[in-house]
Amino acid sequence: MASIPSIAMWDDHDIFDGWGSYDEERQNCPVYQGIYPIARRQDRSFPPAASSGAA
């Protein structure tokens, strides 16, 4: 498996379960609006592990 290329991508569950499926009033509140940029920043601070090529 180490030689099979892969790509890491996040989905709504990486923000929190049910992200984007709540009512419009909740999605537009300041707390809800602040969650996405924080989750994105945290996700990007932990890049996927890379192989050095040595097995």
52 is a domain residue: no
pTM for the predicted model, two decimal places: 0.60
Residues 26 and 35: beta-carbon distance below 8 Å: no
pLDDT score at 37: 93
Which amino acid is it at 45? S
Whether the predicted pLDDT of 25 surpasses 90:
yes
pLDDT (mean) for 40-47: 82
pLDDT score at 45: 83
| Per-residue pLDDT tens digits for 7-20 | 777 888 878 888 88
How many domains is the chain partitioned into structurally?
1
pLDDT score at 31: 93
Measured distance CA(41)–CA(43) in Å, rounded:
5
SS (H, E, C) the chain: CCCCCCCCCCCHHHHCCCCCCCCHHHHCCHHHHHHHHHHHHHHHCCCCCCCCCCC
Q: Which domain holds residue 35?
A: 12-44
2 is a domain residue: no
